[in-house]
Amino acid sequence: MRELKILVVNNYGQFCHLIHRAVRDLDMDTKIIPNTTPIEDILAEEPDGLILSGGPEMERAGLCFDYVREIDIPILGICLGHQAIALAYGGHVHAGKKGGYAEVEIEILEEDDILRGLGPKTTVWASHADEVAILPEGFIHLARSEVCEIEAMCHPTKPIYGVQWHPEVSHTEKGKELLMNFFEACDQY
């Protein structure tokens, strides 16, 4: 696969730099950008894809809602990024019943672009302090767990994907495969 340009949007999450490193270690051109970066500045970079990092609170998600509605390139939301996608398209987020960062077994319901080859089950690391409670209308439900019903989703027609878990951390099984699947979606778009 050719080297792609992937911008990582910083939502002040503790793993933003790990996402950047994971993308770089997979031989992609990448840089971290503030979540207040104007859309025209992002487009001027001519990225192949955008990753919305996790973060501590939705109030600090900057322009992420605008990015997922207005930028026409593949987007992967991780944790808070996943939740921001849901909210931007009319879904709902609530506090999770199981809060902290922990190991979770994921059941893959649909092996779409980003989850290809990961199923039928995989073990990941995730925080469920907040989680997507109601899928946005028309979105495809991709994965669930005993902890959270909506662990992953995608837009029905746009290359927009969200996962509650952290593919960038070493303890997540098949995290690199998920990222490579996202890069393939970027390469084919």
Hey, which residues are catalytic here? 79, 166, 168
Other Cβ atoms less than 10 A from the Cβ of 94: the count is 11
Strand 92-95, strand 130-134: pairing = antiparallel
H helices present in the chain, as ranges: 16-25, 39-44, 64-70, 80-88, 175-188
Rounded CA-CA distance 140/127 in Å is 22
CA 136, 89, 130, 10 dihedral sign is: positive
CA 120, 52, 188, 72 dihedral sign is: positive
Other Cβ atoms less than 10 A from the Cβ of 170: the count is 10
